[in-house]
Amino acid sequence: MPKQSDVLATDFLVKIAEEFGTPVYVYHAEKIKTQYEKLQNAFQKTNTRFFYACKALTNINILKYINSIGCGLDTVSIQEVQLGLKAGFDPKNIIFTPNCVDLQEIIAAKDLGVIINIDNLSILEQFGHTFGDSYPICIRLNPHIMAGGNFKISTGHIDSKFGISIHQMRHIERIVKSTKLKVTGLHMHTGSEIKDVDVFLRGVEIMFEMTQHFPDLESIDLGSGFKVAYQQGDPETDIELLGKKLTAAFNHFAATYPRPLQLWFEPGKFLVSQCGYFIVKANVIKQTTANVFVGVNSGFNHLIRPMFYDAFHLIRNISNPKGTERIYTVVGNICETDTFGWDRKLNEVKEGDYLVFYNAGAYGFEMSSNFNSRLKPAEVLVKDGKPALIRRRDTLEDLLKNQIEL
């Protein structure tokens, strides 16, 4: 868990719940800045750029704030590119790394002037034949490294759909040579929640080997995957150690490359996970022969990570923080099995109490839905100690607005 000074106080969260209602997502702006500065400090001795992987959280106000602190943007869809531009990012500070899209989406990104990262041979060849050397591109490689906290978030292994295999380099070279493509960047991303810093070192060594095929490189992009703690004692990526080891390796290699090189990263969860809180209300306390359930006014339609990834989120009762601890199973109000946490120790919960899920800033609201025709929650941004509504709660009209009655 983050240090207490980085955590919004429980009584403050209760006031937000009372003012804006529940369920509600709350984001702490200054925590994002703290995480960004931690990365900057760890890599201050090498030429490094960071691009926020906005698929983690794309509220326009979050994007504007991240732009204001000097971070770039990593996008995976043309819509995320458009949101980034609307938030004020310079196109030169936006990376576009889509997967399984057609050439037209790539051309749309080119027309917007952003950095394009191509991850399959078919699109690489189509783009090369269409544009040749008129628009520089980056290439995403698959390094065949198994890494990450869950198979579903491992993206660099042999069976992954992401990237072009390093064993297809001969094919890449033929396309680049025949179409005169100018390749200015190499990219890889092995997965999320990587605890072992040596995974990044293995990856960058592979990237160093691949550079011999590309004389015009300006950057090597290692993606991200930095793990953050979700509970007390949880292991996380040692950013200081990573910075020290990668800086030494990268600076040594960069001195041998014929032109200046930058090291790029695309942190998403690392920047916004710990800034987020998800506040719900206890609807019912239901005792069965085997469990005491706390049924809350939310479900996997709002926070799917525990069900989808078996992810752990610390849950606390902020209405009764000093009550006697009891064991509960926290579940949602969706007509599916939507268990947030089994056998959790919580201060005694009564119907109407507010519970908070910590580390809810990444892939929380962003993966939400209207399943069961439930309404999406509100979002609140806390900046300089003041909460402000940055997304209103859905209404019935929102469920109907795109439907056409016959």
Same domain, 124 and 217: yes
Residue 169 CB partners (closer than 8 Å, separation 6+):
210, 213
Residue of 234, 225, 176, 179 whose CA lies nearest to 199 = 225
C-beta separation of 56 from 363 below 8 A: yes
363 is in an annotated binding site: yes
Give the end of a domain, one of 267, 288, 304. 267
Same domain, 218 and 306: no
Same domain, 241 and 279: no
Same domain, 231 and 349: no
Same domain, 186 and 88: yes
Same domain, 360 and 294: yes
27 is in an annotated binding site: no
- Is residue 7, in this structure, part of any structural domain at all? no
Same domain, 254 and 140: yes
Q: What domain range is 381 assigned to?
A: 273-400
> Greatest CA span in the chain, whole angstroms?
72
25 is in an annotated binding site: no
Give the end of a domain, one of 247, 267, 287. 267
* Catalytic position from the list 54, 138, 275, 335: 335
- What is the chain's Cα-based Rg? 23
Give the end of a domain, one of 267, 294, 320. 267
Same domain, 151 and 296: no
Same domain, 213 and 282: no
From first to last of its 406 residues, what are the pLDDT tens digits of the chain?
444 456 799 999 999 999 999 999 999 999 999 999 999 999 999 999 999 999 999 999 999 999 999 999 999 999 999 999 999 999 999 999 999 999 999 999 999 999 999 999 999 999 999 999 999 999 999 988 744 443 443 444 466 788 999 999 999 999 999 999 999 999 998 765 667 788 888 888 999 999 999 999 999 999 988 888 888 888 888 999 999 999 999 999 999 999 999 999 999 999 999 999 999 999 999 999 999 999 999 999 999 999 999 999 999 999 999 999 999 999 999 999 899 999 999 999 999 999 999 999 999 999 999 999 999 999 999 999 999 999 999 999 999 999 999 9
Same domain, 80 and 198: yes
pTM recorded for the entire structure = 0.93
- Is residue 126, in this structure, part of any structural domain at all? yes
Q: What is the CATH number of the domain that holds 330?
A: 2.40.37.10
174 is in an annotated binding site: no
225 is in an annotated binding site: yes
- Is residue 320, in this structure, part of any structural domain at all? yes
Same domain, 253 and 224: yes
C-beta separation of 117 from 150 below 8 A: no
Q: Give 133-196 as a DSSP string.
A: TSS-EEEEEE-----SSSGGGB-SSTT-SSSEEGGGHHHHHHHHHHHT--EEEEE---BSSB--
Q: Is 335 a catalytic residue?
A: yes
Same domain, 243 and 311: no
- Is residue 28, in this structure, part of any structural domain at all? no
- Is residue 6, in this structure, part of any structural domain at all? no
- Is residue 171, in this structure, part of any structural domain at all? yes
Domain count, the chain: 2
The rounded distance, in Å, linking the Cα atoms of 250 and 47 is: 9
Q: Does residue 116 sit in helix, strand or coil? A: strand
The pair of three-digit structure tokens given for residue 132, joined into one six-digit string:
């040749």
